[in-house]
Structure 1
Amino acid sequence: MTARPPTVRERRLAGELRRLRESTTALNLEEAAEGLGWSKTKLSRIENAIRKVTAAEVQQMLALYSVTGPRLDALVRFSRTTRQRGWWDVYENSLPTDYATYMGLEAESEWLNSYTMGLVHGLMQTEDYTHHVARSILMRFSPASEVERRVAARMARQRAWTERADPTRLWTILDETALQRVIGGPEVMRAQCRRIIELTEQPNVMFQIMPLAAGGHPGVVGSFAILGFPERFTPNVVYVENMTSALYVEDEREVHTYALAFEQMAAMALSPEESVAMLERLARQ
């Protein structure tokens, strides 16, 4: 056991082990611990990624939960890689925990579907735009060094995405209001529009604009992102962020609701071609 923060992979494994206990058995935490011959505290710490779990312990848990075959083999193999740390761990002590965790999840995702209401998606922001956003979010109460750390983290996040051999597939729907909100001045916004246009030329990027004329839609309640992972056993996760914290939605039915909402919004939004045309008009203004 160690005091260091858990890696993103340890969090993902812990969450999956908890879901398997809850979905494949009728065992509560105490009953499962008894069946494993462990203390309730030990099992709770494993399910919350506070205690490292070994491959042998994962096998023991999966046997109790009647998990067999390829899923068992995949989870045991995955458990042997959970100590791996990524580029985002450099920022774990200088950024909010929720944001650092999200960067790790995003970096390991296979695909990402997002709706952003107030701001351009972080993977698409220019450095100037990011700088003005970070300064606004921190409300001038933090030193300039904190702003620069946020900007550096976002730029590193973008490089990690674009330089990957098989980068995350990004499908983002941007609310038109984010383009009407002038952040940093007209030239910053024009450069931001040009940057998005450049990214839409990449085969792994799908970009749409939700026009004001579309009226009401499921996303009016706020921004969200759905992340999918390459491992078949790992369920999709929804990330919802607010000013001071973040919510991770992992319940299968709730994630499915967000997925249906995204599909509906994609049908209501401008087509990719119409969206780029709007960006080109804005870039010329």
Structure 2
Amino acid sequence: MPTKRHTPTVRLRRLAAELRRLRASADLTREDVTERTGINAATLYRIETARVRPQQRTLASLLDIYEVAQPQRDEIIALSQGADEQVWLRPYHAELRELYTAYISFEAEAQAVRNYESLFIPGLLQTEDYARAVIRGGLPSANARQVEQRVQARMERKTVLAKDAPLQLWAIIDESALRRMSGGPTVMRDQMNHLLSAMAEPYLTLQVIPFGAGSHPGMPGSFALISFPDADDPEIVYIDSMAGDMFLESGADVNRYGLIFDTLRAVALSPDDSASLIAELLKDIQREEEAQ
């Protein structure tokens, strides 16, 4: 039975950042706080890095030592009480990668995502058959149940596009992702049709970087920039690579990847020209199917 995993939320990240700020404003080190409150140093570290939500008594001790007055005190307590609420999470996610479930949680709370993909169609735009094909190909040792769990998780992520205020998705795809016959011609035909249909939706801006563009700064790999409705929640960068998943939160990293995305946006075809390229590739696939 998988152990229960803590998945960070935007609110928990905000609480952790606020407690770090308050400690710094009080000119206290973690060691100072431990000495004066008796809070375990490891526990304090986990609280300040959004690993755990502080217990009510622990939070009260921190707010006392930081001399936090009303109404800020009530605001922080309210933030803590809602810090573990998962906007989007399913029981079987315990078997998914920990940072991937964190990404799912952040994506569900996000206002916008800027996603660059070099080898795959973006997850939010994948058909079920395409998702199954790329998951099987990428995880050759996974059994059928594990594959289907990941397919289901990917399909359920799409609910963020069906909300009253849908996630705003700006996706840039390298042409190689469109030309790779993941799952075969029939799967790719349906995937291309799905992309063309999705491009008519107001929540989506889709661009393709053609082979003719030559080398570009996205060639090292894919990434996503996640932004949130509340200005107090800073953007984060998510990177999924062979070496493992990674979140980058520093302002310098977010600015660097924002600049890379802007460069890719300039290198890529316009949305209209991208749709024309996808339509041409779709015709090629249909001709190939007819010839068989």
Category of TM-score, reference length = shorter chain: 0.7 to 0.9
Which one is further off, 58-67 or 173-182? 58-67
Look up the match of 2:155.
155
Alignment of 1:154-173 (within 5 A): 154-158=154-158, 160-173=159-172
- Correspondence for 2:221: 222
Give 5+ residue unaligned stretches, structure 1.
Answer: none
Change (3 A) 1:225 1:27: farther
Residue 190 of structure 2 is matched in structure 1 by 191
TM-score (norm 1): 0.86
Q: Which residue of the partner structure matches residue 249 of structure 2?
A: 250
Gapped runs of 5+ residues in structure 2? 285-292
The structure with the larger Rg is 2
Q: Match of 1:144?
A: 144
The farther-off stretch of 45-54 and 264-273 is 45-54
> Structure 2: how far apart are the matches of 1:5 and 1:144?
23
Residues of 2 paired with 1:67 and 1:262: CA distance? 40
Deviation, structure 1 residue 91: 3.1
Q: Which residue number corresponds to residue 179 of structure 2? A: 180
Task: Give the structure 2 partner of residue 122 of structure 1.
Answer: 123
Please list, as runs of the form range in 1=range in 2, the aligned pairs for 1:70-81 lying within 5 A after superposition: 76-81=77-82
1:129–1:188 CA contact under 8 A, matched in 2: yes
The sequence identity of aligned pairs, in percent, is 33
For each residue in 1:32-85, what CA deviation from the matched residue of structure 2 results, as whole angstroms up to 9, or x when unmatched? 544666332331121244432257865765787799999887655432211212
Tell me the number of residue pairs that the alignment of Structure 1 and Structure 2 aligns. Answer: 281
Give the TM-score normalised by the residue count of structure 2: 0.84
Residue in 2 that maps onto 1:51: 52
Provide the C-alpha distance between the structure 2 equivalents of 1:109 and 1:88, rounded to a whole number of angstroms.
Answer: 15
Per-residue deviation, residues 170-191 of structure 1 (Å, max 9, x unmatched)? 0010011111111111121121
Q: Structure 1: how far apart are the matches of 2:236 and 2:137?
A: 28
Residue 172 of structure 2 aligns to a residue whose secondary structure is strand
CA contact (8 A) 1:112 1:227 kept: yes
Separation in structure 2 between the aligned mates of residue 149 and residue 213 of structure 1, nearest angstrom? 38
Native 8 Å contact 1:210 1:268 kept in 2: yes
Does the CA-based 8 Å contact 2:15-2:76 persist in structure 1?
A: no
Residue 135 of structure 1 corresponds to 136
2:88 match: 87
Report SS of the residue matched to 1:87: coil
